[in-house]
Amino acid sequence: MRFPTLLVTVFSLLAVTEISSAAVAVWKGTGRQTLTATDEARPVTIFFIVDLSTFVGRTVVAIPSLKQVYDEGERSYGLNQADTAPKGTLLLTDAIAIDQTGPIEFNHQIAVARGKTSTQFVGPQNTVPFELPKTFNYLLTKAAAGIFVQVASLVEGQLLFQKSRTQSANAVSKTVLAVSQEIRGELISEKGFTEITAP
């Protein structure tokens, strides 16, 4: 069951310029991954990819110490914008509850990306301006909730807008999935990573 996420139509975000086809935006940064409450945090590289017309996104997590990479899967983000001064704050959220059996009844997955907006150019040669965060604070948590609440997996980090990858993807109308596949493919072929299933 998917919880309803707050979805606010933000005309100031999308009406800066009209585009004839869907555009994607990519953020990348470093952070940490923790699989259990007692697990030692591992440094990770996080790629956050969002379709700017549907706000469907994917997160790719690379673990350099293990040479492993995975895609967290497709998420549909709710959109909210706060009128904070001097720059607005954009918030993307997604929450899922999966039925479980036994004493632990639900597996909650929550993803949140938050950042101050400014003009970013997503089209080739610095065209197609959007009001987007240059920096996102990103959090993805999976928690089992029943008699006790237990964190099962946590990925968090600070991500920076990737202008070059964003513009090159939009030059050939790549989808969110295609960009994710490209990132994973580069890590596998160029850096010897192995693809694994998301924990």
Instruction: Show me where the domains of the chain are located.
Output: 11-91+114-137+158-190
Query: By percentage, how much of the chain surpasses pLDDT 70?
Result: 77
- Distance between CA 122 and CA 52 in Å, rounded? 10
Minimum mean pLDDT range among 84-88, 159-163, 194-198? 84-88
Radius of gyration (Cα) for the chain, nearest Å? 17
The residues, ordered by sequence, that sit 6+ positions from 97 with a Cβ below 8 Å of its Cβ are 1, 2, 3, 106, 107, 108, 109
pLDDT of residue 4: 36
Tell me, what amino acid is at 127? Answer: T
How confident is the model over 109-120, as a mean pLDDT? Answer: 92
pLDDT of residue 107: 64
pLDDT of residue 100: 53
Give the HSE-up count for residue 88: Cα atoms under 13 Å, Cβ half-sphere. 15
Residue carrying the six token digits 């029943």: 146
What percent helix, strand, coil does the chain show, rounded to 5?
A: 15, 55, 30
How confident is the model over 17-45, as a mean pLDDT? Answer: 80
Reply yes or no on whether the pLDDT at 98 is more than 70: no
Which of 76, 45, 14 is closest to 159 using CA atoms? 45
Instruction: Give the residue, 37 or 94, on which the prediction is more confident.
Output: 94
Confidence band for 81, pLDDT divided at 50, 70 and 90: confident
- Distance between CA 165 and CA 27 in Å, rounded? 9
pLDDT of residue 168: 96
Which of 113, 111, 109 is closest to 138 using CA atoms? 113
Distances (CA, A) of 15 to 12, 34, 124, 129, 189: 5, 39, 18, 10, 39
Q: How many CB atoms lie within 10 A of CB 14?
A: 15
Mean pLDDT, the chain, whole residue set: 83
Reply yes or no on whether the pLDDT at 118 is more than 60: yes
Strand pairing partners for 136?
159
- Distance between CA 9 and CA 57 in Å, rounded? 17
Reply yes or no on whether the pLDDT at 169 is more than 90: yes
Provide the sign of the torsion angle of the four alpha carbons 167, 170, 171, 175, taken in this order.
positive
Confidence band for 84, pLDDT divided at 50, 70 and 90: confident
